[in-house]
Chain A
Amino acid sequence: MLSRVADSLYWMSRYLERAEHTVRLLDVNMSLMLDRSGTTVEKRWNRVLAALGHTPESAWTGDHYQLVQTLTFDADNEASIRASIVMARDNARQVRDELSTEQWQQLNRLYHQVTEPAGYDGEVHLEEFLPAVIDGLHLFQGITDTTMSHGEGWQFIQTGRSLERAFATVKLLDIYSSDLLESNEDENDGYNYLEWIGLLRCCTAFEAYCRVYTADLSHDRILEFLLLNPEFPHSVRYSIDALSGALKAMQQANGRQQADGLTRLAGRLQATLNFVEIGEILEQDPARYLHDVLHQCQQIHGQIYRYYIQYSVQTALAT
């Protein structure tokens, strides 16, 4: 497979995952706004902004509806949902012939959904719009899995999605963790409860969490669930397992070189997530642990590029 093609598929997938994460974050926080809570409005939205990679001071204006509009539709804002989907489609268009017709059509539908969002009455109803975009994104994933050959290209799509998802979840945990850790479990007064539900919902994890731990929310369990659960698709461990699997399949499909550095990095991260206990993380420095995972994710991205996409001509000729 051409490196350019792999690159486009990888980024298409990352941008779509990013869009989905942003939509969910905005949707959940908008609905949380309706309840009074101990957390101030400003603090909540600054958290959202931080999770999306903004510097808080620059964006918060006091008007949360305005903010959501910007984060959803602003074409100039690189982190907006619209920008993510436009970028995903731009990438897909470069490799149109690698995708199935069904995939391409669904991506176009999504594109029109976010570029021309007004409903029949000419108004944009965010509370309907956001869930509809998530549905569209889920549909695209389903179509991808059922209409595209599960070869190297598909593995690049999986890689992009898993890495982006792991990254986003860790980032979210990092931002919430200081709040979570500060709170005393005895002060379970309903306000904090709401915040925790918010965090879980941002990862579609509330119901899955309850099934494992019941509705009894506590910060260490939430951290354990979102970080180390082996079965839940939005947990970091699950994402890294998926990433590792996709990287292995890619190497097998492509057969040339053993991407040693990449295998080692991914394997090491997978192992720490598989064999660590939540108690150890909490005893030491959870923030540092999370930063470390983020750093390793970035390194893996760099290695994927080094081995498959932007390798130097000299090293490639030497092998």
Chain B
Amino acid sequence: MSTGSVSLHNSNPALRDYFLDDAYDEMFDAAGEVRPHYQVLLDAFQNMPEQELRRRKQSADLSFLTQGITFTVYGRNEGTERIFPYDLLPRIVTAAEWAHIEKGLTQRITALNHFLRDVYNEGKILADGKVPREIVYSCRHFRREMRGLQVPRNVYIAVTGTDLLRLNDGSFVVLEDNLRVPSGVSYMLTSRRVMKRIFPQLYGAYGVRPIDHYTQLLLSTLRSLAPEGRPEPTIVLLTPGVYNSAYFEHTYLARQMGIELVEGRDLVTHDNFVYMRTTAGLKRIDVIYRRVDDDFIDPLAFRSDSILGAAGLFNAYRAGNVTLANAFGTGLADDKALYAYVPAIIRYYLGEEPILNNVETFLLTDPVQRQHVLANLDKLVVKAVGESGGYGMLIGPHSSAEQREDFRRKIEENPRNYIAQPTLDFSRAPCLMGGPASASIEPRHVDLRPYILFGDKVQIVPGGLTRVALRKGSLVVNSSQGGGSKDTWVLND
């Protein structure tokens, strides 16, 4: 990676550690000039005394803490709650950029949903040879049980959180589709609330599009997917329970939507209907927004050792008496080898060119591509196809010869299980770093996860979770590994 350092046309001492190189910078253009939509933000922080900044930071901390936007630290200090790492500087997305993203995501989700419906029914795309059968049938998340099942409105993917990256030329690409049980939306919502309180003038001056209606949209999406003849459906959120790392989000969403938060042990199935046990007796459930993976949802149909689901749930689902969002088997379209075919899928169903591109992906089942990958393991990223969240990965440039040898062996043993992608140099956004005494603004790598809802139509609230790799030079945005989040402001114009 070259460091063709461009000097900034700015003498602000807070920017003393700012640097530019090949990676796209959200705040400065290649010539070192401030992009117009970041000017107000930069001015505001430039003119803010150190003490004032510190006060606001403390106020934000307190706000996160009192809202309960925390995670519990287990072990000795059980019960102590910590706040999630976050950055005070918002990431700003212009109206034009957003319009492009919105169009691209809508197109992509629509096509993927067509694909799932097709594969679980007629299988036309397979017959036409646009997607190889062996890729589909060998996918760990393909659910044979879903064959021929009609889901309400033909919607499989009610909730998606697509991970986008911005490449050096400024274009957005899709890194992962996350079609199973994406999380993080509660941080998008709560950090917005905090930012509005901490920087009211700045927020007002920017004309940011609101996102607060997300939970309402989610509720109406779920309602629109209710089984027929249930005009006042009972909707619940199914959580794996208190030990799940996203439990805060589950309680938050349930509270915000005013629906019951249930666990598997609250559910009873009888005659293919699903009920929850309440103090007023059994209450029929129509829609389950499930935050439990396919494998664990019904011990009779899937993993028999699961205690997170409810026995008989899948049969009730097949009978059409209850809707699950997302549907079973959506993980198929999330498979990293299948990912390589998404552009073809979009062309096949919609007859359009993809608006948002994929990251270049090498399929290791193909001998030529495999040869190329094995020869360049030190430059590429290798990923296991069925995993998510950064597990089972080899990052070539940061790997040891031993690790590469290990992956070479694994790939040769089971090429279907891996794909390879180039090491990505994605965009950086300004972050507030340094201690309270010496705050400085420095660039850090960011991604963007917008949340897409699909009920009677595709809806995306303007915004998303911007995850940031707070450690200098790090490309890892996961919160377990030094990542944090920042608010995402989509502008009106």
Residues of A at the B interface (CB closer than 8 Å) are 1-4, 6, 89, 93-94, 96-97, 101, 108, 111-112, 152, 250, 254-257, 308-309, 311, 313, 316-317, 319
Contacts and interface: CB of A to CB of B under 8 A. Distances in A.
Interface string B224-256: 000000000000000001100000000100110
Contacts of B80: 108
Given A97-B261, A108-B79, A317-B270, A257 B280 contact: yes
Nearest to B241: A94
B280 A254 contact: yes
B266 interface: yes
B20 interface: no
B83 to A, nearest CB: 14
6 contacts: A4-B277, A108-B79, A111-B79, A112-B79, A257-B281, A319-B281
Interface residues of B, number: 26
A255 B279 CA distance: 10
Nearest to B276: A2
Contact of B279 (A1, A89, A101, A108): A1
Nearest to B273: A317
Interface in B275-302: 275-282
B260 interface: yes
Given A96-B251, A97-B254, 9 more contacts: A2-B260, A2-B278, A3-B266, A4-B263, A97-B251, A101-B68, A256-B280, A308-B279, A317-B270
A152 B279 CA distance: 9
Contact of B262 (A2, A6, A111, A313): A2
A3 B260 CA distance: 12
Contacts of B303: none
Contacts of B276: 2
Given A93-B242, A94-B242, A101-B66, A1 B268 contact: no
Contacts of B281: 256-257, 311, 316, 319
Interface in B440-478: none
A167 to B, nearest CB: 22
B372 interface: no
A93 B251 CA distance: 12
A257 B260 CA distance: 21
A4 B266 contact: yes
B265 interface: yes
Contact of A1 (B66, B79, B270, B278): B278
A311 B266 CA distance: 12
A309 B265 CA distance: 12
A311 B276 CA distance: 12
Interface of B: 66, 68, 78-80, 241-242, 251, 254-255, 260-263, 265-266, 268, 270, 275-282
A97 B255 contact: yes
A257 B282 CA distance: 11
B281 to A, nearest CB: 5
A96 B282 contact: no
Most A CB within 10 A of own CB, among B79, B260, B279: B279
A97 B79 CA distance: 15
Given A4-B263, A4-B266, A313-B270, A255 B79 contact: no
Contacts of A254: 279-280
A44 B164 CA distance: 72
A115 to B, nearest CB: 8
A190 to B, nearest CB: 47
Contacts of A309: 277, 279
A160 to B, nearest CB: 14
A144 B263 CA distance: 25
A256 B260 CA distance: 18
A294 to B, nearest CB: 26
Contacts of B251: 96-97
Contacts of B78: 111
A33 B242 CA distance: 44
Contacts of A6: 279
A316 B279 CA distance: 11
Contacts of B277: 2-4, 309, 311, 316
A250 B279 CA distance: 9
A316 B282 contact: yes
A254 B66 CA distance: 31
Given A96-B251, A97-B261, A112-B79, A3 B279 contact: yes
Nearest to A112: B79
Contact of B242 (A1, A2, A3, A96): A96
A255 B260 CA distance: 18
A316 B270 CA distance: 11
Which 8 residue pairs across A and B have the least CB separation, nearest first?
A256-B280, A97-B251, A3-B277, A108-B79, A308-B279, A254-B280, A316-B282, A316-B281
Which one of A1, A3, A96, A101 has the greatest number of beta carbons of chain B within 10 Å?
A3
Contacts of A112: 79
Nearest to A256: B280
Contacts of A94: 241-242
A112 B76 CA distance: 10
Nearest to A255: B280
A203 B277 CA distance: 37
A82 to B, nearest CB: 13
Nearest to A94: B242
Nearest to B265: A4
Contacts of A101: 66, 68
A214 to B, nearest CB: 46
A46 to B, nearest CB: 35
Contacts of A97: 251, 254-255, 261
Nearest to B269: A313
Nearest to A155: B279
Nearest to B81: A108
Contacts of A1: 278-280
B79 A3 contact: no
A100 to B, nearest CB: 10
A6 B78 CA distance: 24
A49 B361 CA distance: 71
Contact of A317 (B79, B262, B279, B282): B282
